[in-house]
């Protein structure tokens, strides 16, 4: 519990420091989170901007407008108990015989956490459906730098963060071509990208200081997607951040002697395919990233996700959801199981809740508030 509380505090402070966030392809959306993160063919017109803009044009006949107000989510991954170990080392006497063992056990371990939120307003129609949105996200990594297990003063803790504030509008059109039902969509968007870099001794380590050494830049970007469907059967593809670029953190001097070099963050297009069965009261789908997403240059944070999810809707009042996802970028990564519910009292407002669990040191949760008219 001690570790979880520290990480939660770090997430809140990270979000507060940036006032921003939302890195690249990550989406905070509780319905999808409960279904393993799927969305390329299973998202709604309201959540389409976060998964596949082509879905903006897919809606029920009685859908006139809708909004997410808002959605929040947190996740952390500290499978090696880095936070507790750093705290323990920071309190140890430099002559403690167990110090070398503690430092050695840290090795190249990495802890990461993220927090984000979204809002969206959708207006579906048969001419050109549109969903405007904003999303905020921050992703942070902490990694001990161990160079000499006999002298604690030669070792330190460093961290990096990226935050993105993003706003855009998804535009999509349904078409029937040669008796094939299809929709196509694009999402032009503006991103404000922040980076932070941090280094400190074990004794002085505090995750709230991850906001140090800031850089910031603004860029235009674009997502695109397509969907084919026949009755409840669907196939889709999406491309996110088509205008890729590299963003660098600020280099600085730690402790007057150690140069902390600039860290590159790669924002490149990510292509995802999806297939599924999406009916009124049941859906099942799978998403697969066609390419590996590379992030910080010297952290093991690459992702290439496989996601699977199902949903059972009981009379439009209660939805039961479950899923599974796994990062295929590393062979030793554990999979994550997900679950959640959706409540729609009197069809006036929808409340979605999701939880994710990898192990006792890696989990997350998210919540949505939606209204449709």
pTM as predicted: 0.88
Determine the pLDDT at residue 179. Answer: 85
Query: What are 144-173's pLDDT values in tens digits?
Result: 888 888 888 888 888 888 999 999 999 999
DSSP state string for 91-119 = TS-TT-TTHHHHHHHHTT--EEEEEEEEE
* Domain harbouring 176, CATH code: 2.40.160
Determine the pLDDT at residue 258. Answer: 85
* C-alpha to C-alpha distance for 122 and 163, rounded to whole angstroms: 25
Task: Please state the φ and ψ torsions of residue 265, each to the nearest 5 degrees.
Answer: -115, 125
Task: Please state the φ and ψ torsions of residue 268, each to the nearest 5 degrees.
Answer: -125, 160
Dihedral sign for Cα 327, 22, 7, 5, please: negative
- 276 strand-pairing partners: 234, 285
> CB count, 10 Å around CB of 184?
17
Q: What angle do CA 35, 38, 40 make, to 5 degrees?
A: 150
**Domain hosting residue 89, numbered range:** 2-372
Q: Which residue blocks in 260-341 are alpha helix, DSSP H?
A: none
Determine the pLDDT at residue 86. Answer: 87
Determine the pLDDT at residue 140. Answer: 86
Report whether 118 contacts 74 (CB < 8 A): no
* C-alpha to C-alpha distance for 366 and 146, rounded to whole angstroms: 35
Determine the pLDDT at residue 324. Answer: 98
Report whether 219 contacts 25 (CB < 8 A): no
* Residues near 256 by beta carbon (within 8 Å), at least 6 away in sequence: none
Determine the pLDDT at residue 26. Answer: 57
Determine the pLDDT at residue 5. Answer: 45
Grouping H, G, I as helix, E, B as strand and the rest as coil, residue 241 is coil
Query: What are 314-340's pLDDT values in tens digits?
Result: 988 899 999 999 999 988 888 999 999
Residues of the chain predicted below pLDDT 50: 1-25
Query: What's the total number of domains in the chain?
Result: 1
Burial call 238-258: b when 16+ CB within 10 Å, e when fewer: bbbbeeeeebebeeeebeeee
């Amino acid at each position: 519990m001690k570790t979880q509380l520290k990480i939660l505090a770090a997430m809140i402070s990270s979000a507060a420091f940036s006032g921003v966030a939302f890195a690249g392809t990550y989406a905070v959306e509780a319905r999808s989170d409960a279904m393993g993160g799927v969305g390329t063919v299973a998202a709604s017109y309201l959540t389409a901007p976060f998964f596949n803009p082509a879905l903006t044009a897919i809606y029920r006949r009685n859908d006139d407008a809708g909004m997410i107000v808002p959605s929040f989510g947190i996740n952390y991954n500290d499978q090696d108990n880095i936070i507790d170990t750093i705290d323990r080392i920071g309190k140890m006497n430099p002559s403690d015989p167990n110090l070398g063992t503690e430092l050695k056990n840290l090795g190249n371990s990495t802890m990461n956490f993220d927090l984000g939120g979204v809002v969206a307003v959708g207006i579906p129609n048969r001419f050109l459906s549109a969903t405007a949105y904003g999303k905020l996200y921050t992703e942070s990594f902490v990694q001990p730098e161990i160079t000499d297990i006999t002298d604690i003063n030669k070792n330190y803790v460093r961290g990096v963060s990226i935050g993105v504030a993003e706003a855009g509008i998804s535009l999509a059109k349904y078409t029937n071509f040669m008796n094939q039902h299809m929709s196509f969509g694009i999402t032009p968007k503006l991103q404000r990208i922040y980076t932070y870099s941090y280094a400190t001794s074990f004794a002085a380590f505090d995750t709230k200081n991850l906001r140090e050494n800031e850089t910031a830049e603004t860029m235009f970007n674009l997502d695109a997607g397509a969907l084919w469907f026949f009755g409840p059967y669907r196939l889709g593809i999406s491309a996110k951040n088509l205008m890729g670029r590299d963003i660098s953190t600020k280099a600085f001097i730690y402790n007057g002697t150690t140069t902390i070099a600039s860290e590159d963050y790669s924002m490149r297009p990510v292509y995802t395919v999806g297939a599924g069965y999406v009916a009124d009261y049941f859906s099942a789908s799978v998403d697969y990233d066609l390419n590996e997403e590379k992030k910080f240059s010297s952290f093991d944070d690459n992702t290439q996700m496989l996601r699977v999810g199902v949903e059972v809707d009981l009379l439009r009042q209660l939805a039961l959801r479950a899923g599974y996802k796994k990062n295929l970028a590393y062979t030793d990564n554990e999979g994550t199981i997900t679950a959640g519910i959706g409540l729609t009292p009197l069809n006036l407002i929808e409340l979605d809740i999701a939880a994710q669990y990898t192990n006792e040191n890696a989990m997350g949760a998210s919540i949505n508030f939606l209204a449709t008219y």
